[in-house]
Amino acid sequence: MKVILLKKNNNLGKKFEEIDVKPGYGRNFLLPKRYVIIATNSVRKKIIEFKKKIIQNKIKNLKKIFFFLKKKKKIEITFYLKLGKNGKLLGSITKKNIKKIFFLKKNKIKKIFLEKRKINKIGIFNGYFNLPYKIKYKFLFKIFYY
């Protein structure tokens, strides 16, 4: 019995893969749980169209990401923190501060990585964030006092 997987299954295969199973297993277990659909020509055509749409969406997202990267060739952020009476900085810079600047959800930025969790020293520091499709983007940020 030829069926097409609707979900990834470690024992059977990947999503949208066409496999051959025993008729009893397919009819009594896989079909009622909606893990598979029976492979017909019309279903195969629909899956091919669906895969094309997925690929087009990925290409569209990649174009947006590369446009974002071209537009912002080098990102430098400057933070100003207060200096206390004893000469130490009041406050620190964390991932939350940087996330607010980049509007992460809008730009589809997944995670930010810094040298340390909290940075409370004066100087220039590196960081990077992950974009979709495993693209890493580095940026600099400077901390001064006033």
User: What's the residue count for the chain?
Assistant: 146
20 with 64, same domain?
yes
First and final CA of the chain: distance in angstroms?
A: 74
Instruction: Answer yes or no: is pLDDT of 47 > 90.
Output: yes
Looking at residue 114, what is its pLDDT?
A: 83
22 with 56, same domain?
yes
Instruction: List Cα–Cα distances, 125 to 12, 114, 141, in angstroms.
Output: 48, 8, 5
Looking at residue 106, what is its pLDDT?
A: 59
91 with 51, same domain?
no
Final residue before a domain boundary, out of 20, 52, 68: 68
Domain that holds residue 81: 73-145
Angstrom distance (rounded) from CA 104 to CA 102: 5
Final residue before a domain boundary, out of 68, 94, 123: 68
109 with 134, same domain?
yes
Final residue before a domain boundary, out of 68, 98, 119: 68
Angstrom distance (rounded) from CA 31 to CA 46: 18
51 with 79, same domain?
no
Which CATH number fits the domain that encloses residue 31?
A: 3.40.5.10
- Our count of domains for the chain comes to 2
Per the model's pLDDT, the better-predicted residue between 40 and 120 turns out to be 40
Mean pLDDT of all residues in 113-124: 80
Could you give the angle at the alpha carbon of 135 between the alpha carbons of 129 and 140, nearest 5°? 35
Which CATH number fits the domain that encloses residue 108?
A: 3.10.430.100
Instruction: Answer yes or no: is pLDDT of 104 > 60.
Output: no
Looking at mean pLDDT, say which of 8-17, 98-107, 118-127 comes out highest: 8-17
CB 104 within 8 A of CB 40: no
pLDDT band (50, 70, 90) for residue 103: low
What is the pTM assigned to this prediction?
A: 0.54
